[in-house]
Amino acid sequence: MSKNAIQQSLDLLGDGQVLPDGMVSAVMNEIMDGDATSAQIGGWLMAMKIRGETAPQITEAVNVMRQRATRVNCDCTDIIDTCGTGGDGKGVFNVSTGTAFIAAAAGCPVAKHGNRSVSSTTGSADVLEAAGMYLDLSPQQVATCIDTLNIGFLFAPAHHGATKHAVLPRKELGVRTLFNLLGPLTNPAGTKRQVIGIFSKDWMRIAAEVMHNVGSEHVMFVHSHDGMDEISLSAPTYICELKNGVVSEYSVKPEDFGVSQQSMDNLVVNSAQESLQLISAALQGKAGPAADILALNSGAAIYVAGQAASVADGVKQAQTILQSGKAWMVWQQLVELTQQMETDND
C-alpha cells in the first residue's frame, strides 16, 4: 500500500533529509482533510520542530491555511490586525485586544483575529465575550462591523474549521509547534499590515520572510527582552520590521516614546473579567501602566496602518485617543452591534 504524504514526510524527516518543495502543502492538506491520524499529526509536528521549520516550508503551510479559510470581504483598504502568537507565559491582560480598539478609533480599519485562551490566562475571545460581545457572526456580519465601526472580531474557529483535526494532537503534545505561528499569519480578511507579537525572538526573521513571501506590505514583529510578545513597559523590545519588501531589525524602549519604564506586576490578570477591567479603565481615560502599554502597542498599529509617520507619532495619537474615551465608545458600539446581530440571527 502506498504511503500518504505525511508518512512519506515522516520517513524523510526521520532520516534527517530535507523535504522536497510542495510536501508541506500536501501534508497540510491531508491534515485538514482528516486523512492523517492524531499520532501522525503529532509525530510530524514534533519532527518538523526538531528539524527546524524553514521560511519556505512555513510559507507553504500559510498558503494552504489561507486557501482553506472562510474569508471576510469588506470595503475597507489597508486593513490591519494586532493578533500575536501568545504563549509568552507572562499572564498580562489582553494588550493586543485593547490595542485594536484604539487603532480603530484612530481611523484604522481592523480585522482583529483571535481565539480563546490556549496558553495564556485569557484570550481575546474570552475578554470580548466577558464584555457581552456576540462572537458567532457570519463573515458578512464581521465585514459589516469593520465597514461600520472600523473593527470586527474574526473568531478563529469560525474561519479555520479545517484545522480542527490538529487540535487534539497539539493539546496532547503541549509544546509550541508550527501551528502556533500559523494563526497570526493567516488572517481571513487578507490583511497585509500587522503588528505581530512573537513568543520567541528566534522566529522573528523567519516570520518576516514568510510574510514577504505571501505579499504583506508592512508588518512589525515584536518580542521584548523580558519575554513578552508585546512592546514592553519594563524592558527594551526587539523589532523586526517588514516594510515595502525590506526587513530591518532594531530595539526600542519605552523612553523612546516619552513613556517611563516601569514594572508590569499590576498588569497580570487571573481571568477574562480582570483583563476586561484593566482594558475598560484605560479606554475610558484612566492613566496608569495599562494605558501606557496600550499606547505603545497602539502606536505601532497606527504606524503600520499608514496613519502615522512613525511609531512615536502613533503613540501620541494613541495617548490622545485614550484620554478622550473615543476607543471605549467604539468598544461599546461593537458590543451593541454584535448583540443586535445575535438577535437578527435568532
Q: Is 39 helix (H, G, I), strand (E, B) or coil?
A: helix
Q: Which amino acid is at 243?
A: K
- pLDDT recorded at residue 208: 97
Query: Tens of pLDDT along 280-289?
Result: 999 999 999 9
Buried b / exposed e over 254-289, threshold 16 CB at 10 Å, is beebebeeeebeebebeebebbbbbbbebbbeeeeb
Q: Averaged over 300-314, what is the pLDDT? A: 98
Q: Averaged over 65-85, what is the pLDDT? A: 92
Q: Is 313 exposed, middle or buried (0-12, 13-18, 19+ CB in 10 A)?
A: middle
Helix (H) / strand (E) element for 317: namely helix 311-324
- Whether 111 shows a pLDDT value over 50: the answer reads yes
Strands in 110-114's sheet, in edge-to-edge order, are 151-155, 110-114, 80-81, 193-197, 218-224, 237-243, 246-252
- Whether 273 shows a pLDDT value over 50: the answer reads yes
Q: Averaged over 268-289, what is the pLDDT? A: 96
